[in-house]
Amino acid sequence: MLPSDLVKRLLDVARWVALAVVAAFVVRVLAGDWTEFWRALRSIAWPWAVLSLAALVASITVSTYGWQTVVDGLGDRVGYRRGARICLVGQLGKYVPGSVWAYLLQMELGRKAGVSRARIFTGSLVQFGIGLVAALLLSALALPVAGPAVWLLVLLPAGLVALHPRVLAWGTGLALRLLRRDPLPRPLGFASIARAFAASVLAWTLQGLHLWLLAPSLNLWTCVGAMAIAMTAGTFAFLLPSGAGVREAVLVALLGTAGFSAGQALAFALVSRVMFTVADLLTALAATLPTRESHAQPRESHA
């Protein structure tokens, strides 16, 4: 087994290499297709850009409801306002390279809000899995432009089976044991899973609407599927902050298959990235605004 210091150094090197590859990809596309890149940027009218940003804010709001539903299903009710403060502020940790910072920040914010770390971590883990299955389902909408990504649909039946309460409880329990975490406080019921899944589907759909408002010549449902595939790919790029570069590369490839030049596709992908960051900051800021209920919060007996 490699020493921990060596592993850390190797990960740091891999992270810098990945960032260099991303930068080289962007420079190469811009150098070869600058005219189309600039033309695509200028084609985005500001009213459509505002609507596109609003769609992202709505997507994050709905996604937070799904997260809160899962956390509520694992114990006493947290409520949307308190849950949003934990989820939205905590998820800003994804902008730090590494896959754990958002989880750690959410767990610490949860503890300060009176919710156990174990429950927050488990809720985030389960919601991630539910969102992944929803993304697999919606990726079918991008079949006309998906190309090699079609193989993702092979995983869909297994994903849908995994949403059954008993299967989900078993799978989550196994993951928690492997991560040396406490077991599920209590299994999620079908109603909680169904609400979280519906919220994930709606959130992905709103993200597709966000892309369509930037590039309305595309089919709306193709945009939904493309965003589901690109966002999921970015989620697994744990070495990069918020999947930077991977999401854009996948989106550029999918938009290129749909008929856009590399410059045009990169323009829409980069505008989307900026809008996601702005939407994350806006929703996190809104979640921190004081409310009456924030002054009196019940606390769980274990942290």
Highest mean pLDDT among 67-71, 111-115, 187-191, 263-267: 67-71
> What is residue 150's DSSP assignment?
G
Residues 133/160, Cβ–Cβ less than 8 Å: yes
Residue 65 corresponds to which tokens in the numbers above?
A: 């409801």
The residue whose two tokens read 């997507």 is: 59
- Residue 157's domain comprises 4-292
Q: Answer yes or no: is 302 within a domain.
A: no
Q: Answer yes or no: is 22 within a domain.
A: yes
Q: Answer yes or no: is 303 within a domain.
A: no
**In this structure, is the dihedral angle defined by the CA atoms of residues 197, 115, 80 and 231, taken in order, positive or negative?**
negative
Question: Which residues have C-beta within 8 Å of that of residue 148, sequence separation ≥ 6?
Answer: none
If you average pLDDT over residues 81-86, what whole number do you get? 92
Q: Answer yes or no: is 76 within a domain.
A: yes
Count of alpha carbons within 13 angstroms of residue 241, beta-carbon side: 10
Of 65, 37, 57, 46, residue with least CA distance to 209: 57
104: Cα separation from own chain's centroid: 16
Q: 171 vs 160, 165, 196, 231, CA distance in Å? A: 13, 10, 17, 23
H runs (alpha helix) in the chain: 4-42, 46-73, 80-90, 101-112, 117-139, 143-146, 156-162, 165-178, 190-214, 220-235, 246-257, 262-287
Model pLDDT for residues 140-150, shown as the tens digit of each residue? 888 777 666 66
pLDDT attached to residue 191: 93
d(CA 260, CA 242): 25
Q: How many residues are there in the chain?
A: 303
Q: Answer yes or no: is 300 within a domain.
A: no
Model pLDDT for residues 252-269, shown as the tens digit of each residue? 888 988 888 888 888 999
With cut-offs at 50, 70 and 90, classify the pLDDT of residue 29: low
If you average pLDDT over residues 154-168, what whole number do you get? 86
Model pLDDT for residues 93-108, shown as the tens digit of each residue? 888 766 678 888 999 9
Residue 31 has pLDDT above 70, yes or no: no
Domain count, the chain: 1
d(CA 65, CA 77): 13
Q: What are phi and psi of 288, to 5 degrees?
A: -85, -10
Q: Answer yes or no: is 299 within a domain.
A: no
Q: Answer yes or no: is 199 within a domain.
A: yes
Q: Answer yes or no: is 67 within a domain.
A: yes
Q: Which of 23-32, 61-70, 278-287 has the lowest mean pLDDT?
A: 23-32
Neighbours of 90 (CB within 10 A): 24
